[in-house]
Structure 1
Amino acid sequence: MVKIAMRPLILLLLSLVSLTAAAGDWPALRQLEKTGASVTALAFDLQSGRSLAAYNPQQRLNAASLTKLVLGAAALEAWEPERTLATELYGSGNLVQGRLEGSLILQGQADPTLEHRDLWLLAAQLRQAGVREVQGDLVVGTAPLGRPACETEDRCKFIARSDSSYAAPLSGIGVDYGSWCLDFSPALQPRHCSGVALPIPVDGRVEERGARNSAPLAVARSLTPEGERMLISGTLDPGSMQRVYRSMADPAGGTGQLLWQMLAELGVRVNGKIYLSAEALPANAWRLASVQGLPLREQLARMMRFSNNYIADVMTLKLAQEARPGPAPTLAQSATQLSALVVRARQALGDGAVIAPPLYSGSGLTPENALSARDLVAVLRAQYLNPRSFPAFYAGLVVPADSSGTRMREGSQAWLTRTAFKTGTMSEPHAVFGIGGYLRKQDGGWIALAVLVNGTPGQALNSRESLKYIRADVESLLARY
């Protein structure tokens, strides 16, 4: 009788089954790869701790806005979900019969979601405190982050002229995500969204749309030696209104200009000028007004759901500044903490020695950022296992049925209701599309999933096309599990 060692045989059979399954993983993405695209994909069962479907899971590709998943995890590791940041007004002199005998100082804590409503509240509290005149300057404090130099190509390019808001310069203080917010109506001069007059000059006019003139609305912000200007043209339908955001050239200066305008329209006169300062508050400063910003959980929801690059990179700088006392670090230096978090998550997954991924921003605006599907799944798994932070992290993801974009609302009922993702896209220097998030299994369990697709320069690969292939494979997983 021939004796057969059963344990080695069983292990061999299991490995053959695993290899056979792996060979059939992600069939649609394998077809997409044949067009020249690069793919990394992984689906990981969070109950059993095993890989369900993997394809090039270790290959690091341009991650675009999926970098924000790593940043969200880092923020929740450092701060409580309910943490808020204050923005305040201080006086540097005595208040005598409504006259502040010194300067008015706007000082914040680098709140990336400061809004024009917050400035209105500060201005109203100042008037309530009895201030009607400021003898000195309006000082805008930029500490603790100062006015960081631009480190991404888009941010540098859009300082001189901007026709969008996705690449606003970073700043220690900036209102409305470092952007001018404008409301347009036909045949009327635009106003700031806060209701006050726009505090920078406007060149051009918006006309009523008609048979003879139906040009689309065009809005650009330019920087001249005299300061920022808004350039407008085009038409709108009669009786309509349209809201537009355009990045500021200098968010700290623009915030000061907007607050100055609000104060003027409330009847508070500032006799001096707008002055930017990175210095600490003077010893004689006393608080006149204060607002608390949004809790961290809401900041992360806005950052991830709307892929807000300003929130992401100000938060990246803030994380590093609090972790390393001293001069404010650069964005690239700050992002090393995100790379370190990925390494820790991979090691917790049992991966041993891991090379840190190259990350140079939290937003993903830097095309040099690179992550693998396994990097992302490790971060997703770590958040799932953390009951303190997981609710806030998961709340930033979008269920396809609730997505504002039509491309995500296509697909099966399982895709629409049993998944929640963050997406990432980029067009230059090559096309990028990716998703990262969670699937709910039919038995109520959870799967962490990440997919990144990178095209080659010049390849005609749009995000809708990439999503079609991804969705086909994800729907197959949902049917299986």
Structure 2
Amino acid sequence: MRSLRLSPASRIPPAARPTLRRLAWGLLLLWPFTSWAQSPTHGGPSSLPAPVTAALQAQGIPAEAVSLWVAPVDGGPPRLQHLSETLRPAASVMKLFTTGAALRTLGPAWTWQTDVTLTGTLRPDGTLTGSVHVRGSGDPSLRMEQVSLMLSRWRGAGLRHIQGDIVLDRTAFQLPAHDPWAFDGKGLRPYNAGPDALLLNHQAVTLHLMPDAARPGQVRVAMEPPLAGVTLDVEVAPDTRAGCGDWRAALDLQLSPAPGWPQHHLSPWRVHVRGPYPLSCGAQTWPVLWPGANGEDFAARLLTQTWRQLGGELDGQVRSGVWPAGAGIWQSWTSEPLAEVVRDINKFSNNVMARQLFLTLGGAEATARTVREATSTHAPSPCGSAQLVLDNGSGLSRTEGSTALCLGQWLQALWASPAMPDLVASLPLTGVDGTTRRWQGAAGYARVKTGSLSGVAAVAGYVDGESGRRHVVVGLVQHPGAAAARPVLDALLNWTRQDR
């Protein structure tokens, strides 16, 4: 059998030789560009960039455990796609679906209303012969300061003495009992708080530890906000030798009913803190979720204590109930606008606020519908049921997940929408603020949401390239060693920025 080979130049007809020479020069000029597109060093669409590969190898994470997608924000062809159609958990990056859908459908000026009505008669001396009813609508931003200001407005409107109860209507959310210990066994961590139609101060207290200015060399501990019936018991010894380190691990924290008391409304509780505290730590804070399957006990203690501090009197108790049929509104508290709420959710990855917003949207079905409609201009649509699974909208879930392609094209759709300015402003800036203040990848040039769970690490958002173009970047890592994957994601952000 004869082999095939190119004919020597001496056998090419003279008339054809100029044309072939021009073709050869053209191919030679194009060679660097075709080489860049295919070279793993420069990260072509079907290959991993060399810095990412090196970081994966250094951390012992296989390439099969990673999904990556990088593309221009304006919807051009992707610069990089690696296992981008593999469904993976994305941890807190899933908040981008919740916050983006809320900005698109509700708008940045959306607010929640917390209504108040009175039963009975409010007399000129400030005595109410009935009860105060408070109806929640899911406001995620009713922190301690807002609660105090809301109740001070009751006092400003002439209310001083409530002879009945303070009745809390939580029926805007119909939810099963929430177990804060169920997800990871850390039920005192504020990120495990459950949603509540009348969520007050995220159902959490903060312990403040600090050197005592009045007693040099000693440690002072304070609890904020103060709660009715709760005593702070402190046995903290100053440590003058140790470095700061993991100071919480050295302390023992217990929250329990005071011994010898029957359990009833506002029965005494004790917060007991004991152990060594390094004075080198200076002032530190320790957020703690108040125990309980729902927020009723916390709300009762917070409202009772706040009302008393404002000079109010309450003969009855704080309890759950329903809004009186046909009742008018005496006062109404308006929340922060949605744009500010979204900023808090994304900058600081607040789970319970994201869950409140998710329920306000209508849950998984409504949120997924918004995402699919927004990405339907892309063919094929990347966000079907096999590409996007929603559970509670916060990412604190073992079932929620997305493909890198779905998440990336959702970010492209948001960039092209009126929601873009508020969404982008809500994202942490790497190396500067929020949850990415210690990240090094594209520091100062990447606005991204990050996420981490056991076995999961993720990043997604927008990166300003050195060329002046902006890019959507998505990186999802699913591996037992994902806790060490930050150098991989930093390398991805740096590579995305280096787009010249």
| TM-based fold match above 0.5 | yes
Classify the secondary structure of the residue corresponding to 2:355: helix
| Structure 2 unmatched ranges of 5 or more | 1-12, 17-22, 213-217
How far did residue 280 of structure 1 move?
A: 3.0
Alignment of 1:155-234 (within 5 A): 157=185, 162-184=187-209, 191-194=222-225, 197-202=226-231, 204-210=233-239, 216-222=250-256, 226=263, 229-234=270-275
CA contact (8 A) 1:439 1:448 kept: yes
- Which digits, 9 at most, give the CA deviation of each residue in 1:421-480, with x for residues without a partner? 1001012xxx2111100111334322111110011xxx3442xx3121222233233223
Give, in whole Å, the separation in 2 of the partners of 1:354 and 1:383: 14
Query: Is 103-112 or 351-360 further displaced after alignment?
Result: 351-360
Instruction: State the aligned residue count.
Output: 443
Secondary structure in structure 2 of the residue aligned to 1:121: helix
Counterpart for residue 304 of structure 2: 260
Cα deviation, 1:132-171, whole Å, max 9, x if unaligned, reads 211111111213115543388646955xxx3321101221
Bigger radius of gyration, 1 or 2?
A: 2
Question: 2-side partners of 1:480 and 1:283: how far apart?
Answer: 62
Give yes or no for the alignment of 1:335 onto 2:364.
yes
User: In 1, Cα distance between the equivalents of 2:157 and 2:383?
Assistant: 57
1:477 alignment partner in structure 2: 496
Task: Report the AA paired with residue 127 of structure 1.
Answer: R
Over 3 Å counting, the alpha-carbon distance change for 1:143 and 1:443 in structure 2 is same
CA distance in 1, matches of 2:184, 2:132: 31
CA contact (8 A) 1:26 1:54 kept: no
Q: Which of 349, 352, 376 is 1:307 aligned to?
A: 349
RMSD: 3.4
Deviations along 1:38-92, one digit per CA (max 9) or x if unpaired, are: 1110001123611111111111111100100011111112212022222243211
Q: CA 1:352/1:396 → structure 2, altered by over 3 Å: closer, same or farther?
A: closer
8 Å CA contact 1:43–1:450 kept in 2: the answer is: yes
Q: Which moved more, 1:204-213 or 1:168-177?
A: 204-213
Matched, 1:39 2:66: yes
Q: Per the alignment, do residues 306 and 479 of structure 1 end up closer, same or farther by CA in structure 2, a change over 3 Å counting? A: same
Counterpart check, 1:381 vs 2:412:
yes
Q: 1:443 and 1:35, CA in 2 relative to 1: closer, same or farther beyond 3 A?
A: closer
Kindly report which structure 2 residues correspond to 1:137-156, keeping only aligned pairs within 5 A, or say none.
Answer: 137-146=165-174, 148-150=176-178, 154=182
My pick for the range that moved more, 295-304 or 117-126, is 117-126
Number of the residue aligned with 1:398: 428
| Conserved 8 A contact 1:222-1:230 | yes
Aligned pair in 2 of structure 1 residues 191, 87: CA closer, same or farther (>3 Å)? farther
What amino acid is the match of 1:319?
L
Q: Identify the residue that residue 452 of structure 1 maps to in structure 2.
A: 476
8 Å contact from structure 1 (residues 140, 256) kept in 2: no
Task: Specify the SS of the correspondent of 2:379.
Answer: coil
Structure 1 pair 19–188 and aligned structure 2 pair: CA distance change class (3 A): closer
1:121 to 127, 149, 155: 149
Deviations 1:291-349 (A, max 9, x none): 322110111111011110000111111111xxxxxxxxxxxxx2233333343344322
Shift of 1:382: 0.8
Q: Deviations over 1:259-286 (max 9, x none)?
A: 1111112221111122112x23443455
Find the aligned partners of 2:381 and 2:151 in 1 and give their Cα distance: 54
Partner of 1:246: 288
Q: Equivalents in 1 of 2:134, 2:271: separation in Å?
A: 25
Would the aligned equivalents of 2:450 and 2:458 in 1 still touch at CA under 8 Å? yes
Task: Rate the CA distance shift 1:285–1:350 in 2: closer, same or farther, 3 A.
Answer: same
Confirm or deny that 1:283 pairs with 2:312.
Answer: no
Q: What is the rounded CA distance, in whole Å, between the counterparts of 1:80 and 1:19 in structure 2?
A: 43
Identity %: 21
Whole-Å separation in 1 of the counterparts to 2:437 and 2:487: 9
* SS of alignment partner, residue 498 of structure 2: helix
Report the CA distance between 1:378 and its aligned residue: 1.1
Aligned-residue offset at 1:211: 5.4
Measured in 2, the distance between the counterparts of 1:276 and 1:155 equals 26
Q: Is the 8 A contact 2:209 2:222 kept in 1?
A: yes
- Rounded to whole Å, the distance in 1 between the matches of 2:222 and 2:339 is 31
Q: How does 1:6-21 map to 2 (within 5 A)?
A: 21=44
Aligned position for 2:107? 80
Partner of 2:373: 344
TM-score (norm: length of structure 1)? 0.81
Deviates more, 1:435-444 or 1:21-30: 21-30
Tell me the TM-score normalized by structure 2. Answer: 0.79
SS in 2 for 1:391: helix
For the 8 Å contact 1:132–1:269, the answer to whether it is kept is yes
Residue aligning to 1:271: 315
- In 1: Cα distance, 2:434 partner to 2:359 partner: 29
Structure 1 residues 83, 35: closer, same or farther in 2, change over 3 A? closer
SS at match of 1:166: helix
Aligned equivalents of 1:94 and 1:271: distance in 2?
Answer: 15
CA shift at 1:23, angstroms? 4.2
**Secondary structure at 1:344's aligned position in 2?**
helix
| Alignment CA distance shift 1:452-1:220 (3 Å) | farther
Kept in 1: contact 2:127–2:159 (CA 8 A): yes
Q: What is the one-letter code of the residue matched to 2:74?
A: Q
The AA in structure 1 aligned to 2:340 is E
Q: Is the 8 A contact 1:217 1:235 kept in 2?
A: yes
Q: Over residues 373-400 of structure 1, what are the superposed CA-to-partner deviations in whole Å (9 max), with x where a residue is unaligned?
A: 11111110011001x2111100111111
Partner SS, residue 168 of structure 2: strand
Q: Structure 1: any 5+ residue segments left out of the alignment?
A: 321-333
Distance 1:216 1:379, change over 3 A: same
Mapped partners of 2:379, 2:487: distance in 1 = 33
How many Å apart are 1:28 and its aligned residue?
A: 4.3
Q: Tell me the residue number matched to 1:368.
A: 399
CA distance in 1, matches of 2:149, 2:340: 20
Contact residue 28 and residue 470 of structure 1 kept, 8 A? no
* Aligned-partner Cα distance in 1 for 2:301–2:97: 35
Is 1:25 aligned to residue 48 of structure 2? yes
* DSSP-derived class of the 1:442 partner: coil
